[in-house]
Structure 1
């Protein structure tokens, strides 16, 4: 199984030191990731370093070099506890929010990116949480892809292409089948062990640029596939919460 890399929470005030450390490892191996850029970040937890000057030029340079850009929510502020149609998280900026408001957030967010020279049709939901109204509003606003779902190849559902993430990393690493899935990273919160593990991953696993996943043919997902994915996502969420409660 091949692995593509997704980086969440790209903002002007992200932890620059950790970002560049992560980027240096990617550059060493010639890997171009997917990055989730927050159009108008109001999440104070993501304010870690002094803001990057000319942030949008910085993002545009990454995109021009082959990095793939997704719109990562709008403000990255959670307003509901809805899990949505991919219930891997228990909070959301979008799921449970009225359609008209989601439509407005997506329209304004995409306009901010466009006015700063960033074009994308890929959406990355904060906490992986979105609902049917999100999908409806995404299509209205020119988005055709979502980075979420489980699997080893892109699939289509409700007129949207999904680029899957790994349900369990250890299982992915031992999977000898053909295919590509995505490992998700939040560089702001990575510690020394996580950096060491990532460096080992790049050296030992079949890590590829995200564009290789995008070049794969997407297949249509049926209702049975969605039900299995929903159950797996819900189980993963429950296991994570159980581990937290034990700690």
Structure 2
């Protein structure tokens, strides 16, 4: 069993105190996270300061050697969309757009990264929402994808998928490769304490993102879709019937 950590919603107006806190914890245990960066954030719900672009770039450069870069869309703006490939989302930055439109979004994002001497290898879809066109574009740009409801890495359309099932660290029931996704902007003190308590005991099970690319592919796209449908049904039941019963 192997673990990875991904940190979402990194941008120039992020909650820097929380980001510094979680990176400090991860560095203490020699864990290199994947940072999902929004180059031109327009989502005011995740803004916590008024730092400039230069401030943000300075911060990224200071941490550059200890993180991997992920493309988290371009501006974190969303439109109504149909069901995405994974999980059940009604809004998306990518899903349902044409090939040309999606490619332009990713091109704009990659231009920002490269202009600042950052070279991401991973795509992280905002709100887990993307479609098969997005996969084609990731293949065109040579990006692997951090997403999917599987317990092992798999390939679809010759693109490597590293599944992401959990929003906090835990010991899963089955052996596999698991990504724990955190959103530092909204983490509480108890979240940091809980994470470090887990790392104290299991830090040796964490691997670097580049190691995944040389691992044997054991998962498959079809199984990921089966697990995804089970996940959707479970959440529907939980949010519909259990919530109604509790109220």
Compared CA separation, residues 106 and 10, structure 1 to 2 (3 A): same
- 2:206 aligns with 208
Secondary structure, counterpart of 1:205 in structure 2: helix
Is 158-167 or 199-208 further displaced after alignment?
199-208
Superposed displacement of residue 122, structure 1 = 1.1
Deviations 1:95-149 (A, max 9, x none): 1222221111111111111111111131000000101121122223x13311001
How do residues 73-152 of structure 1 correspond to structure 2 at under 5 angstroms?
A: 73-140=73-140, 142-152=141-151
Contact 2:151–2:219 (CA<8 Å) still a contact in 1?
A: no
Contact 1:151–1:164 (CA<8 Å) still a contact in 2?
A: yes
Superposed displacement of residue 42, structure 1 = 1.1
Compared CA separation, residues 90 and 193, structure 1 to 2 (3 A): farther
Name the CA distance, whole Å, in 2 between partners of 1:205 and 1:91.
36
Compared CA separation, residues 130 and 176, structure 1 to 2 (3 A): closer
Contact 2:39–2:109 (CA<8 Å) still a contact in 1?
A: yes
Give the total of aligned pairs: 242
Name the CA distance, whole Å, in 2 between partners of 1:213 and 1:234.
27
Name stretches of at least 5 consecutive residues in structure 2 with no aligned partner. Answer: none
Deviations 1:147-199 (A, max 9, x none): 001233321011210011135868x515363x321000001111122122111
Is 212-221 or 26-35 further displaced after alignment?
212-221
Contact 2:149–2:225 (CA<8 Å) still a contact in 1?
A: no
Name the CA distance, whole Å, in 2 between partners of 1:36 and 1:47.
15
Secondary structure, counterpart of 1:13 in structure 2: coil
Superposed displacement of residue 57, structure 1 = 4.0
Question: Could you say what the CA RMSD is over the residues aligned between the two structures, in angstroms?
Answer: 2.5
Name the CA distance, whole Å, in 2 between partners of 1:120 and 1:131.
20
TM-score (norm 1): 0.86
Contact 2:85–2:132 (CA<8 Å) still a contact in 1?
A: yes
TM-score (norm 2): 0.86
- 1:185 aligns with 182
- 2:59 aligns with 58
